[in-house]
């Protein structure tokens, strides 16, 4: 429209340059062309284009860019998304504090290279915070009420002061130079004081008032201590916040039984729930009861994502079935035994989902490979036909398939022959075979359907010295538009060691 005439260009320009994204390098996506052009014009000081910008998103600050000059030229900035691991420029902070006092702020800061940016987080109208929280405690040190050095005292103060905060996502990380996979962290190690010695949780008391969140998410690195969901703390946590506004509760793979027990009847507007069940069969039966009761009390649940669901499927399945008329997303992630192999769901469950869950648009399910007896002694293994046929009946838009590659030859890789000293890694996925098989599965499942995206999540067991198991992962995403052909959107087919 802006190319039709000068007058139409004048009308369209404020809308074209409404949002500016600053990142490292220019994206070739059509949606980013206007922001790229605007950034070049701002750098060249062409006209007064900065006055049109209402929303600024900073992903990375190139060394050649004077971001302070660009922001200072803006006149009507409404929101700022600061997704950079560095601190906000101190000289710029004071100037925009007075210029945009009602600025809505979103911060996403992972692998940050310094301590918490307290000045930034307490200056503006903070509405969304996605932050790493560093802790001096390993997973095996997770005991109730144990005092550990962490950043929870400071994050509690930030959240408490941000009364307009709606979205809070925290990721607990070990305060170590090395990450879970052994790579060197770019983030600096935190220096704690005695004041930072607290239980691994929010520092709450009966007078604390937290903002009414719409989203709360918490996750952790595998080697890091988890959030301490002590029973008394969960009671105080419930009373510190108005939970009636929460719409999304993402607990990653955690199963906070005490929190579930406290929240029964307090989350009438919850639409999305993600959590994990115990992988220990002994604890599963008792620990699943609070989660099942909590799910049963929810109304209009639209999205449910559960890890390790097979460990106690009988106890939790009736609660899941209660939402068969409202669920649009159902992700049932694999349950793995102590050796990493998944425990397959009974065929009755996938059949029940296909028959009863009429509104499902996004399904996540692990599809097993039949044993050599079940496949009538055919040497090459393929994903189970019954599961794929049931999935093909559903009106899906998006599908996540979890496929555990067996030791024998399969449609994706050759047979694995480990030795006793662990010198033979699991064979890589054959790129050509994997692409061809995945596209064939996609064509089979999407025939006459509106399926637009399939993510394949591959896993396999490798063997170390004396056949000790370790888990490796890979993934691939296929996409299509309407009835067009399936294409590989992304692929990471080299095995990544998890543990």
Out of 279, 308, 323, pick the residue that ends a domain: 323
Instruction: Read off the pLDDT band of 28 (50, 70, 90).
Output: very low
Q: Are residues 188 and 274 in the same domain?
A: no
131, pLDDT greater than 60: yes
Q: At what angle do helices 431-446 and 385-392 cross, to 10 degrees?
A: 50
Q: Are residues 421 and 291 in the same domain?
A: no
What's the pLDDT score for residue 68?
79
What mean pLDDT, rounded, does the chain reach?
Answer: 86
36, pLDDT greater than 70: no
Evaluate whether residue 17 is within a structural domain. Answer: yes
**390, two tokens:** 């049931």
Cα of 355 vs its chain's centroid, Å: 29
Q: Are residues 224 and 259 in the same domain?
A: no
Q: Are residues 157 and 95 in the same domain?
A: yes
Q: What is the mean pLDDT of residues 349-362?
A: 94
CA–CA distance, 218 with 352 (Å, rounded to integer): 31
182, pLDDT greater than 60: no
- Domain that includes residue 245, residue range: 6-253+324-497
pLDDT in tens, 409-428: 999 999 999 999 999 999 99
Q: Specify the number of domains making up the chain.
A: 2
**Euclidean distance between the first and the last CA atom of the chain, given in angstroms as a whole number:** 54
Q: Which of 499, 453, 485, 335 is nearest to 402 (CA)?
A: 335
Cα of 282 vs its chain's centroid, Å: 28
Instruction: Read off the pLDDT band of 171 (50, 70, 90).
Output: very high
Q: Which residues of 27-45 are buried (b: 16+ CB within 10 A; e: fewer)?
A: eeeeeeebbbebbeebeee
List of long-range contacts for 296-299, beta carbons under 8 Å, 24+ apart: 296/322, 297/264, 297/265, 298/267, 298/270, 298/273, 298/323, 299/268
Q: Are residues 276 and 229 in the same domain?
A: no
Q: What percent of the chain has pLDDT over 70?
A: 85
Instruction: Read off the pLDDT band of 27 (50, 70, 90).
Output: very low
pLDDT in tens, 209-230: 999 999 999 999 988 999 999 9
Assessment of whether the complete model's pTM goes beyond 0.85? yes
Residue 411: partners with Cβ closer than 8 Å, 6 or more residues away: 380, 381, 382, 383, 433, 437
Q: Are residues 288 and 400 in the same domain?
A: no
Instruction: Read off the pLDDT band of 7 (50, 70, 90).
Output: low
pLDDT in tens, 460-484: 999 999 889 999 999 999 999 877 8
Instruction: Read off the pLDDT band of 260 (50, 70, 90).
Output: very high
Evaluate whether residue 1 is within a structural domain. Answer: no
**299, two tokens:** 């109304």
Evaluate whether residue 357 is within a structural domain. Answer: yes
Fill in the DSSP letter of residue 479. E
pLDDT in tens, 306-321: 998 887 888 899 999 9
Q: Which of 291, 284, 285 is nearest to 261 (CA)?
A: 291
Lowest mean pLDDT among 69-78, 224-233, 251-260: 69-78
Name the strand (E) or helix (H) holding 168.
strand 167-174
Backbone angles phi, psi at 129, to 5 degrees: -135, 120
Q: Are residues 97 and 109 in the same domain?
A: yes
């Amino acid at each position: 429209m802006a190319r039709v005439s000068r007058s139409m260009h004048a009308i369209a320009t404020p809308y074209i340059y409404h949002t500016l994204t600053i990142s490292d390098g220019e994206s070739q996506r059509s949606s980013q062309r206007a922001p790229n052009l605007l950034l070049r014009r701002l750098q060249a000081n062409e006209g007064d284009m900065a006055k049109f910008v209402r929303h600024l998103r900073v992903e990375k600050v190139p060394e050649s860019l004077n971001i302070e000059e660009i922001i200072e030229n803006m006149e009507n900035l409404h929101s700022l998304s600061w997704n950079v691991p560095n601190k906000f420029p101190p000289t710029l902070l004071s100037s925009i504090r007075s210029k945009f006092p009602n600025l809505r702020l979103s911060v996403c800061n992972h692998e940050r290279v310094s301590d918490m940016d307290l000045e930034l987080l307490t200056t503006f109208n903070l509405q969304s915070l996605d932050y790493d929280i560093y802790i001096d405690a390993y997973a095996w040190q997770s005991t109730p009420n144990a005092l550990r050095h962490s950043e929870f005292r400071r994050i509690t103060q930030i959240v408490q002061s941000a009364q307009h905060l709606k979205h809070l996502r925290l990721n607990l990380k070990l305060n170590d130079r090395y990450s879970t996979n052994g790579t060197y962290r770019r983030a600096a190690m935190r220096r704690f004081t005695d004041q930072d010695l607290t239980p691994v949780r929010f520092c709450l008391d009966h007078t604390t008032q937290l903002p009414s969140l719409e989203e709360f998410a918490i996750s952790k690195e595998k080697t890091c201590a988890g959030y301490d969901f002590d029973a008394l703390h969960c009671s105080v946590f419930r009373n510190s916040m108005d939970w009636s506004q929460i719409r999304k509760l993402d607990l990653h793979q955690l199963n906070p039984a005490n929190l579930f027990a406290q929240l029964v009847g307090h989350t009438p507007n919850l639409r999305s729930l993600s959590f994990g069940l115990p992988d220990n069969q002994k604890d599963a039966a008792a620990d699943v009861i609070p989660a099942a009761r909590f799910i049963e009390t929810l109304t209009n649940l639209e999205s449910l994502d559960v890890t390790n669901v097979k460990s106690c499927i009988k106890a939790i399945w009736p609660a899941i079935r209660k939402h068969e008329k409202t669920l649009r997303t159902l992700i049932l992630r694999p349950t793995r035994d102590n050796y990493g192999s998944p425990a397959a769901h009974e065929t009755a469950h996938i059949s029940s989902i296909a028959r009863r869950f009429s509104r499902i648009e996004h399904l996540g399910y692990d599809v097993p490979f039949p044993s050599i007896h079940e496949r009538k002694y055919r040497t090459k293994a393929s994903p189970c036909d019954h599961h794929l046929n049931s999935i093909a009946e559903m009106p899906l838009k998006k599908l996540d398939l979890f496929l555990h590659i067996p030791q024998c030859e399969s449609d994706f890789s050759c047979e694995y022959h480990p030795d006793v000293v662990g010198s033979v890694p699991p064979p890589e996925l054959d790129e050509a075979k994997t692409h061809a098989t995945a596209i064939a599965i996609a064509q089979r499942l999407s025939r006459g359907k509106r399926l637009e995206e399939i993510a394949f999540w591959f896993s396999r067991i490798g063997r170390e010295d004396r056949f000790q198991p370790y888990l490796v992962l890979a993934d691939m995403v296929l996409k299509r538009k309407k009835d067009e052909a399936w294409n590989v959107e992304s692929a990471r087919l080299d095995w990544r060691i998890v543990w």
